Amino acid sequence: MAFLEPSRSPSETLHFAPGQVLVVDTRSSVATIARHLESVCGNEVTVVATANEALAEFVGHQWDLLLVDPRLEPQRLQSLVRHARSHTPQIAIASLVENQYVADRVADDLFIHLVNLDGTELEVLLPLSRLIDRVHAARHRTVERVLAIGAHPDDVEIGVGGSLLAHKAAGHDINILTMSRGARGGDTARREGESRDAAGILGARLFLEDLDDTEIPDGLPTVQLIERVIKLVRPTTIYTHSVNDTHQDHRAVHRATLIAARRVDRVACYQSPSATIGFHPNRFVPVDDYVHQKLRAIAAFASQTAKCDYLRPDALTATTRYWARFAGGDHAEAFEVVRDATSFHPHPAMPFTPHTNNKESAYVTH
């Protein structure tokens, strides 16, 4: 599998590692604990009073720990938990209950009720710090965080859908950033819904921007939008368009990505239906086990499949069957590797190993 590494054991230095903590509680005792989290453990803590304020804090921010008031109205509490889990699957969620220890479940999420013993800092702080440590350890075990970037709805699914499914099967964090809503190709509201459906099939989190279709620039604001998502996701691997493409938006997104992703270790370019004969892949990923689900994701774009011949299943599988001659098996996706600054090893959970040909990478960034 292209761009996969073996799991790493969390470092011992993770103990008491600073985390991002969101507190939804108005009790003075909880505010005191929040101040301890900042001053003693070095965590960054934000305190809000209501569930609605908490939901707003998830926009553009990724939290390690959510501390909630157990007195919140149950429906609001469950809605907040569902949103937090959807936005950040590895988030830890806990609730502080004074002078008692209870464990229960709310909407199938375990709430660990931590003891608040007045004047006993050690017993207050240690459980919270350990909880944050476990979040950090989980994030380090998920060594691969993948961001696939496309100019329009369905670009990512066509070019790298099978590989994203393979990443997902390996337990990696999958994200899709689509730079426009495809206004020139159909109704934007419908295409947005199709994009969300396809992302759900792939098991990916979707970031959907609204740049002008066919007029996406290769500088600002495209670079800034990509940088914002990179800061949030912290990807270890990025997939994007090739510059060898007849569509101006695809070329613009390629150039903007290389600027925004200049500090990301692994960057590769996928093939679009509009790719030119200049597309020269040097990494091939077998996707035999994922073709059917990839086709399901593409079929979600019903407004496009009805009119675009290149979205026909036989056309899509003809492409994957062709690239399989370089990878083994029956189906593969092809990539131009721009940069691979890390040691290259297949993930132990994957049933295959990477394949390369002898061609040099077409593009190198410095």
**CB within 8 Å of 231: residues ≥ 6 apart:** none
Q: Is 264 a residue whose pLDDT tops 80?
A: yes
Cis peptide before 354 (omega within 30 of 0): no
User: 157-195 pLDDT, tens per residue?
Assistant: 999 999 999 998 887 889 999 999 988 988 889 999 999
Predicted confidence band of residue 41 (pLDDT cuts 50, 70, 90): low
Q: Is 142 a residue whose pLDDT tops 80?
A: no
Predicted confidence band of residue 201 (pLDDT cuts 50, 70, 90): very high
Q: Is 93 a residue whose pLDDT tops 70?
A: yes
- pLDDT given for residue 141 in this prediction: 55
* Least confident residue range of 174-183, 305-314, 357-366: 357-366
Kindly state the average pLDDT of the residues 20-37: 76
Q: Is 198 a residue whose pLDDT tops 50?
A: yes
Q: Give the β-pairing of 103-106 and 92-98.
A: unpaired
pTM strictly above 0.75:
no
Q: Which amino acid is at 365?
A: T
- pLDDT given for residue 131 in this prediction: 58
- Residue pair 271/99 in contact by the 8 Å Cβ criterion: no
Of residues 193 and 32, more confidently modeled:
193
**CB within 8 Å of 309: residues ≥ 6 apart:** 315
- pLDDT given for residue 228 in this prediction: 93
Fold type of domain 145-340: Rossmann fold (3.40.50)
Q: Calculate the average pLDDT of the chain.
A: 77
Residue 22 pairs with which residues in a beta bridge?
46, 66
Give the separation between CA 254 and CA 315, rounded to whole angstroms. 24
* Least confident residue range of 30-34, 265-269, 348-352: 348-352
- pLDDT given for residue 68 in this prediction: 82
Kindly state the average pLDDT of the residues 299-323: 94
3-state helix, strand, coil in the chain (%, to 5): 40, 20, 40
- pLDDT given for residue 128 in this prediction: 52
Predicted confidence band of residue 80 (pLDDT cuts 50, 70, 90): confident
User: 214-253 pLDDT, tens per residue?
Assistant: 999 999 999 999 999 998 888 999 999 999 999 999 999 9
Tokens 């100019």 sit at which residue?
A: 151
Q: Is 333 a residue whose pLDDT tops 50?
A: yes
Give the separation between CA 63 and CA 90, rounded to whole angstroms. 9
Name which of 228, 229, 154, 231 is nearest 194 in CA terms: 154
| CATH topology identical between 12-141 and 145-340 | yes
- pLDDT given for residue 85 in this prediction: 75
Kindly state the average pLDDT of the residues 123-146: 57
Predicted confidence band of residue 137 (pLDDT cuts 50, 70, 90): low
Of residues 121 and 271, more confidently modeled:
271
Give the separation between CA 65 and CA 90, rounded to whole angstroms. 9
Residue 116 pairs with which residues in a beta bridge?
98
What are the structure tokens assigned to 11, written together? Answer: 């470092």
* pLDDT over 70, % of the chain: 71
* pLDDT over 90, % of the chain: 47
Fold type of domain 12-141: Rossmann fold (3.40.50)
Q: Which amino acid is at 258?
A: L
3-state secondary structure of 234: coil
Give the separation between CA 50 and CA 44, rounded to whole angstroms. 19
Q: Is 37 a residue whose pLDDT tops 80?
A: no
Residue 65 pairs with which residues in a beta bridge?
21, 92
Domain ranges of the chain: 12-141, 145-340
